[in-house]
């Protein structure tokens, strides 16, 4: 209740507030907010996960946030602040509510060449929605509330609070404070704004009259928890659904109306369906370059509708026939209430055509999905994972080839499964998977990464072992970053020299052995028939597990069609 102040330290206030916001874990490299850490131990059960680098702390907080919908917290002292800022970049791109706290400067000594000190605040500007300093202990309550409020509101995203003192020592000072918490802002979404009825009816009319419509569902559907409403509307009107990579888990891959991920890291059939559509309904997607294959899928000029919680996103890249500003869940629910199910008959021929496009894709890629080749084809790993992933798994995927393989070739088979992907940063997935497991300890978490991606934060195996974060990490180990091969072929005018391979290959590495040495379970897989058994063993291990799958360095993911 506002106005009930008591004398306390900033540390006591912050610890009480984090407990009130139901934070369960935070991720950091010391030493920052030391007094707060002591109060956290005294007053709360919050796990203070001490990592091997600030960037992986930020990625863990991001994975925690995306898995739970609750803000993920990460922290660094002044010298680690920019490492932390670098780690917010993926959260920024993915609209993930991460709260970063850093130590900052003392007004008494700044500009006097204080050891380790620079002005870090500007570096947080491009990766945060709110970037602020706490200079007075009296500002703890309102600024912490504002950090949570901004992180989860509207289109979610990262925020940064810099605390005075290189380690944020302002937390040791006392004032009359009230650790008031607003539980509404403890998770996304705090509000569900609804579009006006007229715009709902206008959009529905267009969808119902269309003969070849398609829905493109993005991360906004996931953030809103609107999968059930999306699928119900698609079923009522018989409209196929493509997703962005960020929205992959908004419809199960085995649903008859699912056509897969559209865009650059995509499935060929999804791009073909979206390019045949006479009306595209974008829901909770930025319509960015990745989802639209640089605005070629669908081509600009295709009749379109857009639903988004951010008014300023509506119409950014495609001229629109109808616009809906609101939360995805309530908007889709309202559309369903008014939907004319009888109009579905108009789309019978479209359903047949869409199914034929999907069957063509399946026939074309079956030999690779089912391949018994040694070294193993990544497509076969994807098929094995589609078949054997637990029904409630959280699947976490890195970028580059990992994003392409899993985006295009892996299918979720249950609405209870979740999928989270790197928004572009190589190396994100392994720590993000650990953060996801902290947020959802009772669900299996399976991360898919290439070896180049895994190398980035391999030291965090020790963190996983120390904290018993029993996530499973599968490494597509081709001793290279072979997604780069095509680009270097082009740069060398068609075919690269033998020496050019030094630009993208690595020494061979047995990650299973490395994992074992660090106290995790390590399983080396060299034959495709061993993948399912390794996954089952890793999931049952009751300790962190690394499945090191030796794959074909010549396997290149198919490029997007437009």
Ligand X SMILES: Cc1ncc(C[n+]2csc(CCOP(=O)(O)OP(=O)(O)O)c2C)c(N)n1
Site for ligand X in 117-156 (CB under 6 A): none
x-or-dash string of contact with ligand X, 208-247, rule CB under 6 A: ----------------------------------------
Phi, psi dihedrals of residue 426, rounded to the nearest 5°: -65, 135
Choice between 225 and 424, CB closer to ligand X: 424
Among 481, 522, 528, 544, binds ligand X (CB under 6 A): 481
Instruction: Give dist(CA 550, CA 541) in Å, integer.
Output: 21
What the block records as the tokens of 211 is 């003969």
Choice between 166 and 482, CB closer to ligand X: 482
Piece of 147-155, 294-302, 407-415, 478-486 that binds ligand X (CB under 6 A): 478-486
Choice between 213 and 481, CB closer to ligand X: 481
Could you tell me the smallest distance in angstroms from the CB atom of residue 389 to ligand X?
20
Instruction: Give dist(CA 103, CA 81) in Å, integer.
Output: 8
DSSP 186: G
Answer yes or no whether residue 480 interacts with ligand X by CB under 6 A: yes
Choice between 291 and 484, CB closer to ligand X: 484
Q: Which is it for the CA torsion 53, 58, 62, 65, positive or negative?
A: positive
Which position has the token pair 């500002």?
139
Site for ligand X in 443-472 (CB under 6 A): 450-453
Choice between 423 and 439, CB closer to ligand X: 423
Could you tell me the smallest distance in angstroms from the CB atom of residue 429 to ligand X?
9
Choice between 377 and 401, CB closer to ligand X: 401
Choice between 98 and 121, CB closer to ligand X: 98
Could you tell me the smallest distance in angstroms from the CB atom of residue 293 to ligand X?
17
Answer yes or no whether residue 484 interacts with ligand X by CB under 6 A: yes
Could you tell me the smallest distance in angstroms from the CB atom of residue 555 to ligand X?
8
What the block records as the tokens of 533 is 């058994």
Choice between 202 and 553, CB closer to ligand X: 553
Answer yes or no whether residue 269 interacts with ligand X by CB under 6 A: no
Piece of 160-168, 215-223, 283-291, 481-489 that binds ligand X (CB under 6 A): 481-489
**SS3 helix, strand, coil % of the chain, rounded to 5?**
45, 20, 35
Site for ligand X in 368-407 (CB under 6 A): 399-402
Nearest CA among 486, 487, 484 for reference residue 504: 484
Instruction: Give dist(CA 533, CA 95) in Å, integer.
Output: 36
CB 283 within 8 A of CB 220: yes
Could you tell me the smallest distance in angstroms from the CB atom of residue 130 to ligand X?
25
Could you tell me the smallest distance in angstroms from the CB atom of residue 151 to ligand X?
23
Choice between 244 and 484, CB closer to ligand X: 484
Q: How many CA atoms lie within 13 A of 112 on its CB side?
A: 6
Cβ neighbours for 475, distance < 8 A, ≥ 6 positions apart: 449, 450, 451, 454, 511, 546, 547, 548, 549
Choice between 339 and 395, CB closer to ligand X: 395
Answer yes or no whether residue 478 interacts with ligand X by CB under 6 A: yes
Could you tell me the smallest distance in angstroms from the CB atom of residue 479 to ligand X?
8
Piece of 3-11, 256-264, 303-311, 476-484 that binds ligand X (CB under 6 A): 476-484
Q: H/E element holding 99?
A: strand 98-103
Answer yes or no whether residue 264 interacts with ligand X by CB under 6 A: no
What the block records as the tokens of 495 is 């075919």
Instruction: Give dist(CA 341, CA 460) in Å, integer.
Output: 52
Choice between 82 and 236, CB closer to ligand X: 82
Could you tell me the smallest distance in angstroms from the CB atom of residue 52 to ligand X?
17
Choice between 244 and 478, CB closer to ligand X: 478
What the block records as the tokens of 135 is 């200079």
What the block records as the tokens of 517 is 């040495």
User: What is the gyration radius of the CA atoms in the chain, in angstroms?
Assistant: 24
Among 102, 227, 482, 562, binds ligand X (CB under 6 A): 482
CB 369 within 8 A of CB 382: yes
Comparing every residue's Cβ against ligand X, the nearest one is 450
Choice between 40 and 472, CB closer to ligand X: 472
Size of interface with ligand X, in residues (CB under 6 A): 18
Choice between 285 and 483, CB closer to ligand X: 483
Instruction: Give dist(CA 535, CA 517) in Å, integer.
Output: 20
Could you tell me the smallest distance in angstroms from the CB atom of residue 377 to ligand X?
12
Cα dihedral 226, 232, 234, 236, rounded to 10, equals -150
The rounded Cα 64 to chain-centroid distance in angstroms is 10
Q: Would you call 167 helix, strand, or coil by DSSP? A: coil
x-or-dash string of contact with ligand X, 22-61, rule CB under 6 A: ----------------------------------------
Piece of 103-111, 138-146, 185-193, 418-426 that binds ligand X (CB under 6 A): 418-426
Among 315, 424, 441, 519, binds ligand X (CB under 6 A): 424
Instruction: Give dist(CA 330, CA 326) in Å, integer.
Output: 8
The rounded Cα 544 to chain-centroid distance in angstroms is 21
What the block records as the tokens of 150 is 């901004």
Could you tell me the smallest distance in angstroms from the CB atom of residue 61 to ligand X?
18
Kindly report whether the peptide bond that precedes residue 102 is cis, defined as omega within 30 degrees of 0. Answer: no
Among 483, 515, 549, 560, binds ligand X (CB under 6 A): 483
CB 292 within 8 A of CB 242: no
Q: At what angle do helices 378-388 and 348-369 cross, to 10 degrees?
A: 120
Answer yes or no whether residue 432 interacts with ligand X by CB under 6 A: no
Positions in the binding site for ligand X (CB under 6 A): 399-402, 424-426, 450-453, 476, 478, 480-484
């Amino acid at each position: 209740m506002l106005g009930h102040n008591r004398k306390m330290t900033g540390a006591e206030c912050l610890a009480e507030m984090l407990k009130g916001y139901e934070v369960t874990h935070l991720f950091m490299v010391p030493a920052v907010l030391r007094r707060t850490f002591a109060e956290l131990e005294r007053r709360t059960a919050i796990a203070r996960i001490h990592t091997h680098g600030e960037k992986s702390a930020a990625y863990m907080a991001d994975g925690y946030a995306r898995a739970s919908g609750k803000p993920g917290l990460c922290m660094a002292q002044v010298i680690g602040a920019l490492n932390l800022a670098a780690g917010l970049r993926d959260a920024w791109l993915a609209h993930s509510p991460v709260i970063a706290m850093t130590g900052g400067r003392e007004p008494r000594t700044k500009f006097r060449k204080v050891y380790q000190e620079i002005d870090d605040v500007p570096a947080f500007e491009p990766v945060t929605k709110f970037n602020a300093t706490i200079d007075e202990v009296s500002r703890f309550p309102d600024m912490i509330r504002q950090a949570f409020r901004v992180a989860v509101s509207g289109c979610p995203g990262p925020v940064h609070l810099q605390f005075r003192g290189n380690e944020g020592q302002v937390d040791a000072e006392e004032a009359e404070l009230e650790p008031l918490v607003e539980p509404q802002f403890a998770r996304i979404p705090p509000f569900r704004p609804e579009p006006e009825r007229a715009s709902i009816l206008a959009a529905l009319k267009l969808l119902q009259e269309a003969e070849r419509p398609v829905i493109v569902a993005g991360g906004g559907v996931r953030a809103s928890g609107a999968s059930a409403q999306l699928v119900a509307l698609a079923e009522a009107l018989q409209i196929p659904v493509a997703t962005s990579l960020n929205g992959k888990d908004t419809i199960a891959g085995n649903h008859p109306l699912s056509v897969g991920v559209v865009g650059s890291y995509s499935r060929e059939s999804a791009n073909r369906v979206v390019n045949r559509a006479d009306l595209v309904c974008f829901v909770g997607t930025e319509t960015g370059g990745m989802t639209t294959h640089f605005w070629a899928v669908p081509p600009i000029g295709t009749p379109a509708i857009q639903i988004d919680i951010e008014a300023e996103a509506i119409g950014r890249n495609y001229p629109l026939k109808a616009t809906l500003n609101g939360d995805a869940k309530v908007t889709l629910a309202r559309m369903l209430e008014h939907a004319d199910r009888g109009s579905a008959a108009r789309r019978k021929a479209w359903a047949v055509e869409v199914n034929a496009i999907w069957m063509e894709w399946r026939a074309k890629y079956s030999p690779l999905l089912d391949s018994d080749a040694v070294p193993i084809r990544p497509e076969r790993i994807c098929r094995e994972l589609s078949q054997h992933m637990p029904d409630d798994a959280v699947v976490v995927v890195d970028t580059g080839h990992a994003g392409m393989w899993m985006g295009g070739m892996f299918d979720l088979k249950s609405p209870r499964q979740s999928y989270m992907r790197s928004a572009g940063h190589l190396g994100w997935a392994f720590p993000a998977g650990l953060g996801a497991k902290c947020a959802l300890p009772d669900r299996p978490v399976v991360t898919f990464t290439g070896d180049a991606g895994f190398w980035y934060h391999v030291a965090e195996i020790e963190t996983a072992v120390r904290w018993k974060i029993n996530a499973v990490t599968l490494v597509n180990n081709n001793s290279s970053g072979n997604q780069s091969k095509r680009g270097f072929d082009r740069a060398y005018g068609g075919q690269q020299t033998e020496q050019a391979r030094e630009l993208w290959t690595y020494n061979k590495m047995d990650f299973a052995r490395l994992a074992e040495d660090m106290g995790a379970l390590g399983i080396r897989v060299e034959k495709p028939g061993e993948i399912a058994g390794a996954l089952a063993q890793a999931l049952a291990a009751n300790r962190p597990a690394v499945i090191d799958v030796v794959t074909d360095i010549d396997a290149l993911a198919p490029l997007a069609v437009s």
